């Protein structure tokens, strides 16, 4: 779950940013929440109360307490979270490096501009944070699969199919049991059926017969295992929120 803070003193531009983030979330099947702030002081107040965000989107030119002021305060709480500046003026570009801003985007912010910016940002975050990966010998050759990008795996006949968040499917001829044993060690996977392994970070809903994923794929649950799957997912969510 990504938590995104958006701060802009103009209500219409704040609303536009939030609408674009919602479009991005739906388009990219990203699990995220956002909070909007009309001034930097309210954002800093939220941080002082213990709230934390994974990404900060700040307007620089705000009266009184500017976006740059807010960024400096954010850095006293969080040294590494990405800060994105959205502004109508390029004059603060150099100063933005002093707070280690990851990008500086000129307004107006269009769908294309925001999607490009967030695609680039999330790729950088994955490269920096996600080091767990498996190496598989696919029909196309040796490939590396980042564990966090694997939505689910299934076995069909003698082939294991790895379904990635990007939509790509990597097909390998191998036994499914050792694959499951290896991936289960990461703690984010659950086996609802003898032919499927699911990454719980991508679960949307669980009913008595199937798991629906954020990518809209559906995975069956073996008879009698629904209660166990729900409990395992609940435990996983509690660990993630701790």
Q: Per-residue pLDDT tens for 146-157?
A: 898 999 999 999
> Which CATH number is 133-241 given?
2.40.50.1020
Residue 101, token pair as written in the block: 């801003």
Give burial (CB, 10 Å; 0-12/13-18/19+) of 149. middle
> Which CATH number is 2-129 given?
3.40.50.2300
Domain spans in the chain, listed from the N-terminal domain onward:
2-129, 133-241
Q: Do domains 2-129 and 133-241 have the same CATH topology?
A: no
Contacts of 194 (CB under 8 A, 6+ apart): 222
Distance, CA of 79 to CA of 223 (rounded, Å): 48
Q: pTM for the full model?
A: 0.54
Q: Mind listing the pLDDT tens digit for each residue in 73-120?
A: 999 988 888 999 998 877 765 565 667 777 888 889 999 999 999 998
CA-CA-CA-CA dihedral for 144, 150, 155, 161, to nearest 10:
-50
Is the distance from CB of 148 to CB of 126 less than 8 angstroms? yes
From residue 68, alpha-carbon distances to 88, 95, 219 in Å are: 14, 8, 46
Q: Looking at the predicted structure, is the pLDDT value of residue 171 above 80?
A: yes
């Amino acid at each position: 779950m990504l938590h995104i803070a958006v701060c802009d003193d103009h209500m219409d531009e704040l609303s536009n940013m939030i609408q674009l983030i919602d479009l991005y979330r739906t388009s990219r099947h990203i699990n995220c929440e956002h909070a909007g702030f009309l001034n930097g002081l309210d954002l800093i107040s939220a941080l002082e109360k213990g709230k934390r965000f994974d990404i900060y989107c700040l307007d620089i030119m705000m009266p009184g307490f500017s976006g740059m002021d807010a960024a400096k305060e954010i850095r006293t709480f969080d040294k590494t979270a990405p800060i994105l500046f959205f502004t109508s003026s390029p004059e603060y570009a150099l100063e933005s490096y002093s707070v280690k801003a990851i990008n500086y985007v000129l307004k107006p912010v269009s769908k294309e501009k925001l999607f490009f910016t967030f695609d680039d940002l999330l790729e950088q975050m994955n490269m920096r944070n996600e080091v767990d990966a498996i190496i598989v010998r696919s029909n196309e050759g040796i490939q590396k699969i980042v564990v966090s990008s694997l939505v689910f795996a299934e076995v069909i006949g003698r082939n294991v199919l790895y379904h990635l968040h990007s939509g790509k499917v990597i097909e390998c001829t191998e036994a499914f049991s050792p694959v499951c044993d290896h991936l289960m060690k990461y703690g984010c996977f659950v086996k609802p059926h003898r032919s499927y392994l699911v990454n719980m970070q991508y679960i949307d809903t669980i009913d008595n017969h199937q798991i629906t994923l954020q990518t809209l794929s559906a995975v069956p649950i073996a008879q009698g295992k629904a209660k166990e799957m729900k409990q395992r997912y609940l435990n996983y969510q509690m660990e993630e929120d701790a």
